[in-house]
Amino acid sequence: MQYSPSEPLSNQERIEVFKLATAGLIKRYGDSFACGMSDTELKAALEQILGIFGGSGGPDRLSVCFKGSGLRIWGGHRAFNHIEEKPLFKGATTIAVAREIYGIADPELEQMSLL
């Protein structure tokens, strides 16, 4: 797929950026997903996976940058300045998106019976 540097990211591309940044989450913590993870546990896991600073990119690939501090993930069709640009995902939003994409339940939330 060829990316146009001037076009904004689609929702599908935002999800792809998130998955690229958190690729190690399933490999390292996938067994914990079945029992669920509290926000505190998921935050710690994401901090470990994102690390101090990382990223990737290349021709015909999305550029991705991430930091465990603040659970920040940037992405785009081109190389970008992570200091000047706002992250696509940050803090509690990163936790919420991880729950949605990877199906991680929060055991601290009790669902009332609908019956």
Instruction: Provide the sign of the torsion angle of the four alpha carbons 46, 37, 104, 27, taken in this order.
Output: positive
Q: Spell out the per-residue pLDDT of the chain, length 115, in tens.
A: 555 556 789 999 999 999 999 999 989 988 888 888 999 999 999 999 999 999 998 888 999 999 999 999 999 998 888 888 999 999 999 999 999 999 998 888 766 455 5
Rg (CA), the chain: 15
Helix/strand/coil for 37: coil
User: Do residues 91 and 70 touch, judged by C-beta distance below 8 A?
Assistant: yes
